[in-house]
Amino acid sequence: MILRITLVLATFYANDLHAQSLTAARVIRAHAIIQPDDLAISSSTIPGALSGDADISGLEARVTLYPGRPIMPNQVGPAALVERNQTVKLIYRSGGLSIAAEARSLARGGEGDTVRVMNLDSRSVVVGQVLPDGSVKVASERSMN
């Protein structure tokens, strides 16, 4: 009896159980910050697309998004804090040792993104993670292995 009621309810609410897909309401250029009125909800579910209940307001478009087309997860991300060729603070920490230097970013990135930077003193290129303040933290070799 319980199984039958569950099946009836599942069939009745089947349309509500499937999330609708998120689409762009207008052209959103790459690197633009997405606003709530930039988004629309498609009447159909598109495999791989963000669902209609996803909150991507405040994120940055990584590519140009066109009206009516589904928005995929890899097409949006955190807003960039570091621009290409920008001078950034490079931080290295290991135990009690902390070293800070100036570096030039070789890529654009947001918080948590991994970017390549060139130390301006040694001209060596290292990889680091963008921190919330826009500086780049380089991992110690011990933590990389």
DSSP string, 35-96: PGGGEEE-SS--TTSPBTT---TT-EESS-B-BTSBPPGGGEESPEEE-TT-EEEEEEEETT
Q: Which domain holds residue 121?
A: 80-144
Both 98 and 126 in one domain: the answer is yes
**Model confidence at 18, in pLDDT bands (50, 70, 90)?**
low
Domain count of the fold of the chain: 2
**Model confidence at 141, in pLDDT bands (50, 70, 90)?**
low
**135 with 89: CB under 8 angstroms?**
yes
Give tens-digit pLDDT for 61-78: 999 999 999 999 999 988
Instruction: Answer yes or no: is 6 within a domain.
Output: no
Give tens-digit pLDDT for 88-137: 999 998 888 999 999 999 999 999 999 999 999 999 999 999 999 999 99
Both 90 and 136 in one domain: the answer is yes
Both 85 and 61 in one domain: the answer is no
Helix (H), strand (E) counts: the chain: 3, 11
Model confidence pTM above 0.85: no
